[in-house]
Amino acid sequence: MPFANLKVPADTLTPESKKKLIDAVTDAYAAVYGERARATTLVLLEEVPDGGWGLGGGILTAEMLGRS
């Protein structure tokens, strides 16, 4: 079973954009593994709260990423 775990900043995706992202990832797996993989492809979107990201030992916030 193909599995993708995508972590995204919280509150940055609409329900429609989540669907679009899940569809795109599923399509990518199907393109590689064939259509037989589509029905068993699992895509998990995890929304990470502000301040829950780190890079190089530092905490990234929405303000630092230009989202505030």
In the structure encoding, which two tokens stand for residue 42, read together?
A: 């699992």
Q: Would you say residue 39 has pLDDT above 90?
A: yes
Q: Would you say residue 68 has pLDDT above 60?
A: no
Domain range summary for the chain, segments of one domain joined by +: 3-60
Active site residue 2: yes
The phi and psi torsions of 55 (rounded to 5 degrees) equal -145, 125
37: Cβ contacts below 8 Å, ≥ 6 apart: 2, 29, 30
pTM for the full predicted model: 0.82
Pick the CATH number of 3-60 from 3.40.50.620, 3.40.50.1000, 3.40.50.150, 3.30.429.10: 3.30.429.10
In the structure encoding, which two tokens stand for residue 21, read together?
A: 């992202």
Q: Would you say residue 66 has pLDDT above 90?
A: no
Q: What integer pLDDT is reported at residue 67 of this predicted model?
A: 65
CB 23 within 8 A of CB 62: no
Catalytic residue among 2, 9, 15, 49: 2
* Short-list 36, 60, 56, 43, CA closest to 7: 43
